[in-house]
Structure 1
């Protein structure tokens, strides 16, 4: 039986199929989309459909995605978890600069609080570990913010199982985000560790960034269910592990409905076996 909910950090229940905001910005997650009004409609419809986990980041835009979330959804409904990320600075559509200095992480977090109109960010995720700053200093900064009540739980983005193990020796980690989908399971060791420790795993590119349409196994199962390959890919994640909490993003209402309908797809044991080794 597929579990519909997961308890992030042991005290924040969310529906496992959430919504990610990266696609609400322009190409390369840079600048605004030309149809900003659609972003408001998509965010509100996601919540109407029962989404309780909204995943965003300060550098989507930059700043634009967080501002859209607040404009569309504030005041936030009870039980809605807004997760955001900091630790990466953008200077252009293809320019990403990791900055994990404690003073920068504090400034980024406080800016996100203002944009999101929150007193406390429920889940604040370090977007990338900075190789030039000791992990203890980066996580120590987030621990200080948590002690001050500015964040509730800490997450990590794009880490190895070894790095997560090191981080857990320093502080509590409630979530990780890594690339993981039907066709890319390179983070399997990390998933196993998350399962053992009860840590949420928010897979990015859960739909394979468009590559799923070329997979014949996925396409065949989709046809049998009257579904799309993307819906099968999301359903597979929900079946694959109870800690996986996919947050597919889109700027389209039609695509949003399609993604969220994937939660109703139930795969058989035979289908799961066929998907175990996709072509």
Structure 2
């Protein structure tokens, strides 16, 4: 496997080529995805290692922290190297009690984009996911139109979706170009269970749609959901390749579909390096059948 490339928005005027193994920054925050990292120097070092290890897709959000991961990215990496894609998401916010709430009215989305531009020190955000919160009372099309409006204004280069159902994805594709989809997906979690709204949303069906339309699927919480579930099949393949359970879970994602772009997150430099080694594991057809 060894760090293949994937193309984002391949049919657009501005396609992006990135390595098919990114990094999710959410774990860099404090407990409960809130506050500063427990080890700030290590957090900054992980971000710098992304560039040194040829990882050029970094996922963030201004409601991580709040604003913690964005500020860490800017501190560690600005001015940004050519080819680095920083992907953020909007549509949600945090209350003082650390609860998650929708923040997806057109004016909310605009405020979020402006805040991301400021904290990331950018004139344009390369890729933004609209994070769907099922408990929202704002019509989906109204939020999506606001995203495409800001794209036309040049604040956003590419628009993506997060926590999307097949029906919502189909609707969004009639309104504009969808560059990427970020849904919960992993070996032990094939359908998205929204952690903040409790609603079960399509996983395999969304993946099939992404493959059909050549839209990269970026799985979040792939290890969070898979690792606590001791799957004897994962354990057997891990022993076969002298690998960790996490590495096999990530290798499975890489082999499951060429349109999957994993973004495992960690606050440990050691685990970051271990995760990268998953790209070196070549699962064969027999392995994949066994894991199914």
| Range into which the TM-score falls when normalised by the shorter chain | over 0.9
Could you say which residue in structure 1 is the equivalent of 2:284? 268
Q: Distance in 1 between matches of 2:206 and 2:62?
A: 25
Aligned runs of 1:137-216 on 2, under 5 Å?
A: 137-186=142-191, 187-209=203-225, 211=227, 214-216=230-232
Q: Residue in 2 aligned with 1:109?
A: 113
Deviation at 1:142, TM superposition (A): 1.1
Q: How far, CA to CA, are the matches of 1:104 and 1:257 in structure 2?
A: 37
Distance 1:181 1:88 in 2: 23
Structure 1 stretches lacking a partner, 5+ long: none
1:136-194 per-position Cα deviation (integer Å, ceiling 9, x unaligned): 22111111111111111011110111110011111111111111001111200000000
Structure 1 stretches (4+) deviating beyond 3 angstroms?
Answer: none
- What is the number of equivalent residue pairs in this alignment? 276
In 2: Cα distance, 1:49 partner to 1:208 partner: 23
CA distance in 2, matches of 1:209, 1:92: 27
Q: TM-score, normalised by structure 1?
A: 0.95
CA distance in 2, matches of 1:70, 1:93: 27
Q: Does 1:80 align with 2:84?
A: yes
Check if 1:12 corresponds to 2:28: no
Offset, 1:206: 1.6
Asked if structure 2 preserves the Cα contact closer than 8 Å seen for 1:2 and 1:238, the reply is no
- Counterpart residue number, 1:42: 46
- Quick one: which of 234, 243, 262 aligns to 1:227? 243
Contact 1:198 1:243 in 2 (8 A): yes
TM-superposed CA distance for 1:15, in Å, is 0.6
- Confirm or deny: 8 A CA contact 1:3 1:242 kept in the other structure: no
Whether the 8 Å CA contact 1:222–1:228 is kept in 2: the answer is yes
Q: Could you say what secondary structure the match of 1:233 adopts?
A: helix
- The CA distance in 2 between the partners of 1:93 and 1:243, in whole Å, is 37
Q: Select the residue among 239, 243, 265 that pairs with 2:255.
A: 239
Q: Is the 8 Å Cα contact of residues 30 and 61 (structure 1) preserved in structure 2? A: yes
8 Å Cα contact 1:175-1:200 kept in structure 2:
yes
Take 2:217 and 2:102, find their aligned partners in 1: how far apart are those partners?
A: 22
